[in-house]
Amino acid sequence: MSEMEDLLWTDKTLFGLNGFEELRKYIKQGSEFCKDVSSIIQERADLEGHYAKNLNKLSQKLVKATTGNLGSLADGWRSVANVMEQEAELHRNLSLKLAEEISKPLKNLVDTQNKARKPIEAMVDKSLRTLTDKRTEETKAKKQCYIHAKDNEKGEEHRNGGNKGKTEKDKQKIEKKCDQMRKQLRKSDKEYCELCEKAEAARQEWEFNVAKGSAQLQSLDEERLAKMAEHLNQYNCQLSSMGPGFQTSCDKLHESVISVDIQADLRSVAQQRGNQGNPPEQILLDCYAEDLQFTMNAERRKNALQNYLLYLRQSLEREKKGKEGVEKLVGVYKERPNFADQDAQDDARQRLCQVMFMMNFLEASHFKIASVLSKLECQPKLEHKFAKYIETQRDKQGIPTSVLRLPINIALEGNSGYDVTSVTVGALANQTQSDPYEEPFADDEFEDYTDPHVVGRCRALYDYDASQTDELSIKYGDVINVYDKQMDGWWQGEKNGRVGIFPASYVEEI
């Protein structure tokens, strides 16, 4: 289990997944601290000729600059302020050394790190905006889905109970209207399912960028701390070279310098300001038929639930194939670390995490819907280890939102013991096909057809034997024309005139 937890970037940061904003504030404060120190040392250089008069003033500024900064490094600079109060005079050449060897490098460090931080923060902000947009689209589609479901129910009840005394023409009009409502319902259901998956993918991308950005910002701050510690030591050396008259002050400063512990400072900051990180929130699929508070014909309710279960099972089987391919690639990288660079290895491990999160999302949605169907059919209550981590709340319109909050160790186990195939087969055992709305979702209903065109080429790294009619068998060294790079880890391509899909983890782009 510890190996799986190492796949997340969050384990490399001290702040946790949800502490990015706190980390950003801390980094900014550290940058201001470094900038203030640089400015103060420059002033010290300028005022060397008037040392006795102005040194106390600079000491007070340095004390103020260190206010709010934690750790032994900040304590070291507070010791510098104390030493300033004890000094009586300074030679001219000290002014040049302070300016060229400490002040300017610190200022350059601040400027360089400010430029490096901007693209990192922009990356996280962009992914957050994308997630917000996807959630908005998902919510709109969900409401449309519920509206169409309600309209369809009203139409069906009107058709089944209000035909007495109506002409054949009126009946045909009613039937036609019901058909249109069923089509609208199926279309909205399909769009909602697609948007749910896109929103989940956007959430995973946002979490990945937050974790990655946190690690990068922490790396920058470690560099800043190391540089400031180095310049603190330089400051000590310069004072020591000024002669015996400064020995007493230098000894006091040296005690603070040797007490600097960067790792201890980081741990202290993480303990006082860090965020332990909450479990990721996965918004599950909620369907109209699943909610027993809404009025719906019993048979149509069962058929609608069965259709959702079938679609979710198909999605789970697709994700399982992708997981097997990525696991194989991660295994190759583990056995042969020199096979790919660190970025490629991190990419593969992160892709495996994303596949696991998607499978958890689909499996929890499947269990939730299957539990309702089991209750309707008076079957034994279903059990699942995710059950206690699922919470459902309702908005003002009564529309539910189910959220899965899995601890990281459970989310990355990869084997919940839930047999989605047997549960789905059992649920479909009594399914009757009497209405177009009751037909299972077909794979092609969730894919827009586009004329194939080559978007790139790739070379096979491993053999893959097709197990489905729409898959493409590949052999090591085969060159494949790529038509489409799907988000689920499968690509569509052509080899020797045959078109099909194959796992992206089995190939490399050329």
pLDDT of residue 449: 38
Residues 322 and 431 in one domain: yes
Residues 217 and 255 in one domain: yes
How many other β-carbons are positioned within 10 Å of the β-carbon of residue 273? 16
Alpha-carbon dihedral 92, 98, 100, 101, rounded to 10 degrees: 130
Please give the order of strands across the beta sheet that includes 456-460.
Answer: 498-503, 490-495, 479-485, 456-460, 507-509
Q: Determine, yes or no, domain membership for 134.
A: no
Residues 344 and 436 in one domain: yes
Residues 229 and 298 in one domain: no
Q: Determine, yes or no, domain membership for 478.
A: yes
How many other β-carbons are positioned within 10 Å of the β-carbon of residue 503? 22
What CA–CA distances, in Å, run from 410 to 5, 315, 383, 423? 10, 21, 16, 22
If pLDDT is split at 50, 70 and 90, which confidence band does 432 have?
A: very low
Residues 307 and 255 in one domain: no
Q: Which residues contact 439 (CB under 8 A, 6 or more apart)?
A: 307, 433
Residues 254 and 329 in one domain: no
Q: Determine, yes or no, domain membership for 350.
A: yes
Q: Determine, yes or no, domain membership for 176.
A: no
Q: Determine, yes or no, domain membership for 165.
A: no
Distance (Å, rounded) from C-alpha 250 to C-alpha 80? Answer: 9
Alpha-carbon dihedral 471, 474, 478, 483, rounded to 10 degrees: 10
If pLDDT is split at 50, 70 and 90, which confidence band does 229 have?
A: very high
Beta bridge partners of 391: 403
Report whether pLDDT(16) > 60.
no
Q: Is 196:285 a contact under the CB 8 Å cutoff?
A: yes
Residue 47 structure tokens: 């005022």
Q: Determine, yes or no, domain membership for 258.
A: yes
> Average pLDDT, stretch 91-112?
87
Q: Determine, yes or no, domain membership for 465.
A: yes
Domain range for 35: 2-125+211-273
If pLDDT is split at 50, 70 and 90, which confidence band does 52 have?
A: low
If pLDDT is split at 50, 70 and 90, which confidence band does 9 have?
A: very low
> Average pLDDT, stretch 441-458?
57
Q: Is 130:202 a contact under the CB 8 Å cutoff?
A: yes
3-state secondary structure (DSSP) of residue 461 = coil
> Average pLDDT, stretch 254-269?
80
Strand 490-495 vs strand 390-394: parallel, antiparallel, or unpaired?
A: unpaired
Residues 403 and 290 in one domain: yes
Residues 105 and 12 in one domain: yes
Please say which residue of 254, 273, 292 terminates a domain.
273
> Average pLDDT, stretch 159-172?
71
pLDDT of residue 441: 47
18-39: per-residue pLDDT in tens?
Answer: 678 888 888 999 999 999 999 9
Residues 335 and 405 in one domain: yes
If pLDDT is split at 50, 70 and 90, which confidence band does 498 have?
A: confident
257-271, 294-308, 467-481, range with the lowest pLDDT = 257-271
Residue 111 structure tokens: 């400027």
Provide the sign of the torsion angle of the four alpha carbons 490, 124, 19, 6, taken in this order.
Answer: positive
Residues 320 and 420 in one domain: yes
357-397: per-residue pLDDT in tens?
Answer: 999 999 999 999 999 888 888 888 888 888 899 999 988 88
Over its C-alpha atoms, the chain yields an Rg (Å, rounded) of 32
Please say which residue of 251, 273, 295 terminates a domain.
273
- Give the CATH number, domain containing residue 481: 2.30.30.40
Distance (Å, rounded) from C-alpha 304 to C-alpha 372? Answer: 12
pLDDT of residue 17: 54
Residue 120 structure tokens: 């990192």
Residues 219 and 98 in one domain: yes
Residues 217 and 295 in one domain: no
Residue 260 main-chain phi, psi, to 5 deg = -70, 125
Q: Over the chain, what is the mean pLDDT?
A: 81
pLDDT of residue 34: 93
Left, alpha or beta for 494 (phi > 0: left; psi -120 to 50: alpha)? beta
Percent of the chain with pLDDT over 70: 85
Report the domain count for the chain.
3
Distance (Å, rounded) from C-alpha 336 to C-alpha 31? Answer: 40
Q: Determine, yes or no, domain membership for 305.
A: yes
Any idea which residue has 């300074």 for tokens? 90
> Average pLDDT, stretch 191-212?
90
Which among 502, 402, 408, 426 has a CA at the least distance from the CA of 458? 502
Report whether pLDDT(501) > 60.
yes
Alpha-carbon dihedral 465, 469, 472, 476, rounded to 10 degrees: 10
pTM of this structure: 0.55
pLDDT of residue 270: 67
